[in-house]
Amino acid sequence: MSSILSKVTDLKIFNKCDKANQAGYYHYTGTHLSPLITVVDDALQACTVDTTSDAFIDCIEQVYGTIVSTLVTASSMFVPTVKKGFF
């Protein structure tokens, strides 16, 4: 049982960036991230030096989550993966 578990935990997946569809990746990320420019600009304009409002913090967390989600999705769509030891 422990040998099976160790084989499962040793399984590592790597992105094969040199084989990625770069045009598709850049188009997808650009399309999905460009609307965030307005959101961030509006949040920064509303922000003052003493701003610690929950709304501002929520905005930053939402933007961060959207960025991470977009990059992970784009990676899974346009960047092939390989198992450790694959050449």
For the stretch 24-45, pLDDT in tens is: 999 999 999 999 999 888 888 8
Give Dmax over CA atoms of the chain in angstroms: 58
60 is in which domain, residue-wise? 2-83
pLDDT surpasses 70 at 79: yes
pLDDT surpasses 80 at 81: yes
- Judge contact between 81 and 14, C-beta under 8 A: yes
- Judge contact between 21 and 78, C-beta under 8 A: yes
- The domain total for the chain is 1
Quick one: pLDDT at residue 85? 63
More confidently predicted of 28 and 49: 28
- Judge contact between 17 and 78, C-beta under 8 A: no
Give the number of other CB atoms < 10 A from CB of residue 74. 22
